[in-house]
Chains A and B, each alone.
Chain A
Amino acid sequence: MSLPLEPLGLPMIWGRIAIGICAIIHVLFASFLVGTTLIGVGISTVAYKTGLKQYARLSRMIAFILVLCTGTIAFMGVLLVFSLNIFWPRFWHTLFRIMFWPFLLEAGFFLGEAIFSYAWYYGWSWSGAVGLRRKLHLSFVWLAGGCSWAAMAMIDITASYMLTPGPPESFWPRIFNPTYIPLDVHRFFGNLVWAGFALAGISAIGSLRAKGEEDRSHHQWAGRLFFAVGFGALCAMPFLGFLYLRQIRYAQPQAFFTLMMGSRSWLFDLVALLYGLLVVIGSFYIDKTVRASETLPSTFAGFMPVSLWAVILAAIVFALPYRLEHVPFIHRITPAQINPLGKMQPNKYLSASTLVVFALAGWIYFLAAFRGMGTREEKAVPIRPDRRAPKLLIGLAVLSVLIYLAMGYSRETARAANGYLIYDRVTLAQEGPTYHAR
C-alpha cells in the first residue's frame, strides 16, 4: 500500500514557499497569542487585586485582541494543515504518525484557549461583579493562559523532534528529545518579547492617534508597561539561546555547523544584528522615558551615555560575520573569506555579554523610574505630547517581528539545508514523487 497521489507537476520550490508562508504567518500569530495571553494573565490579576481602572482597561484591550486573533489563528492553522497535506504528504503523514498525540493535545489545548478567551471577553460584565463571579471571571484568563502555554509546549515537542529526533518507536524519547526543554523555555521568553513589543507598538499607535489627553496618557502608560515586559524578557534571550544551541551542537552537530559556520551562518549574524538593534533602540527608549520621570534615579545621568555607546559598539561586533563566503553578495565588496573580528570566542561572547549587562541595568533603571512616569491612575501625567518615544516602540515591534521570523527560519533551514525534513528520518528527496512522477 502506498499513498494514492497524483504528482503535483510543480517544482518543489513552490511547495516550500507555500508551506513557508503558511507556517510563518501561523507561527507569528500563534506565538503572539501565547505571549499576549500570558501578559493578559498578569495585567488582569493586577487589575483584580488593586482595582485600578487603567489595568482593567488594559485587560479589556488584551481580551479584545485575543478574540480578534484567535479565530484568525485557528484558520491559519487549518491553512497550514491543508498545505502540508497537499505539498508534503509523505513527510506530514510520517510526522503525524510519530506525533499523533502531541498534535491532538495541541488542538485540544487551543480549543480550551479559545473557549476561555471568549468567555473572558464576552463575560466582561462579571469583572465588575463581586465575590465568586468576579473570581470566576479572572479564572477564565488564567485558564486561557494555561491552555495556550500547554498548546505551545505540545507543538514544541514536534518542532524540536524534527531537528533532534529520538527513536520513533519509543514514546518518551520521542517527547523528551534533546532540544525539547531548551526550545520550550527559549520560546516562552521569545513569545513574551514579541508579544510585549507588539502590544507596546499597538499602544504607541494608539497614543499617536489619540484625540484626547486622557487617551494619550493611557496609551503612553500602556506602551511603557508592555515595553517593560518585552525588554525584560529580551535580556534573558541570549543565555537561553546559548543553552538551546549548545543542545543542538551535541545532539545534531551537522545542523549546528550549518548555522554557525556553514551555508546558513549569515542567518545567525542576521539574528545577532536584529538583537543588537533591539537593545540599542530599547536603550534609547529607556533614556528618553527615564529622563522625563519624576523619580529619576540620581546615577542615571552618568550611566546612560556610557550604556548607549557600549551597546552600540557591542551590537556592531555581535553582528559581524565570521565566514564571509556565506554572506550573500558580500563577495562584491571583498574577496576575503574570513573576518577574524566576527569570531565567536571571545568577540561574540563578549559583545553579547555587554549587550545583556547594559540592557539589564537599563531595564532596572526603567523599572525604578516607572512609577514617576505616571503609571498610577492618580499620577497619569503625560510627559508631553511626544511623538519620538511611540515611534521607537513601533520600531521595536517591527524588529521583533523580523527577529522572530529570522530565528524561525534559521531553525527550519538548519534541517532543509542538509536535505532533511525530519533529521535522519525523512529527506526532501523522498518528497520528490509528490511533485513529479518517477
Chain B
Amino acid sequence: MRDVAVVAFAQSQHSTRDADSTEVEILAPVIADAVAQAGVARQSIGFTCSGSCDYLVGAPFSFVSALDAVGAWPPISESHVEMDAAWALYEAWVRLQHDDGTDTALVYGFGKASNVDVAEMLALQLDPYYLAPLWPDQVSLAALQARAYIEARGVDGGELAAVGSAAREAGAANPNAVPYGSATYPDPVEPLRPGDVAPVTDGAAAIILAAGDAVRACTDDPAWIRGIAHRIEAHSVGARDLTRSRSTEQAAAAAGLGQTPVDIAEVHAQFGHEQLILRDALGLGPDVRINPSGGPLAANPVMATGLIRIGEAAARVRDGSARRAVAHATSGPCLQQNLVCVLEGE
C-alpha cells in the first residue's frame, strides 16, 4: 500500500439555515482554505472527488455547479459519489494507490439540509416497492433501532442522554458547530428525545490528501491514513440485527483498528443510540474520547458529516492531542454501510 496522508482540512461555519448562500457559495471559501493550507497550486491537484445528494437540492446533476468552486478549467480529472464525501475520500485514496504521478487529491462534500425535510427525503433511499411507499422517515426508523438496542443491552435513559449532553458541551467549544441556541431539530420519535437527534445543518467541508513526496511539500505534520475500509449490510432494515453494527465491526478489523489503541474517535452518529452502537462495534473503551468535536449531534451538514469525522480526527492527530485516532462514516438507513479510517501522526 502507498502511504497517503491528510494534509489539509477545512470546513464552513455550519448553521441551521444559511438562506443567503447557495451550496457553491458555502463551498468556495472552504475549498480555497484547504488549498491554501496545503500550499499547493490549485491547478496542480491531480484528482478531485466530491460527495453530495441531488435530492437535497431537488435538481438533477446539482453537483456539477459545485465545480465553479473548484476551478475546473483547463479540464481536470474529477469524480463524484452520490454519498457522504467520506466515500469520495475513499475513492481518492484508491486513486492515489495507482502511483502513476497523481500525488494529490481534493475531496469535498456539501449539503443544505434546510432546503427540504431531510428525514422525509431519506425515505427515498429505501426499496421503492415495499418500504418507500410506506414513507418511513429517517427518525422513525432510527427510533426502531434505538428501542431494539436499548432493550437488548439494558441501556438506561441516563446513558443515552449523556451522549447528547456531552455532544452539546463539546460542540459549544467547536467554533464550526451549529450555535446551540440557534439550531432547529427534526421532531424526535420515542424513545428518542430532543437531545438525541442531530440538528438541521447547512455546510461544507474539504480535505486534501497527498502521497509520496507531495506529503512533505504540503506539511510537516501529516495525519497518515494507516487503514481505511468500508463494508455494507442488507438494504432492508428488517433483514439485519439492529442491535449491533456488523459492517462497522468488519470495516474496523479490515482497517487495522484494534492492533494498537486509539486516543480519540470521531463517529458519524446522527442519533445518540447510534454512538453507543458504534462504540460497541469499534470496541472503544472508556479511555477513548468519542467525538471531541461534538460530532454530528453538534453539526450535521448532510453529505459532509462523514468527511468531517475524518477531518476532525486528522486535526487531533496533527495538533498532537491524539497520537492515533479512528474516524467513522455511515450511509444508508440505520447504519447500513460503514467506513472506518485509522489515522496516525509521525
- Chains A and B form a bound pair: no
B residues in contact (CB < 8 Å) with A: none
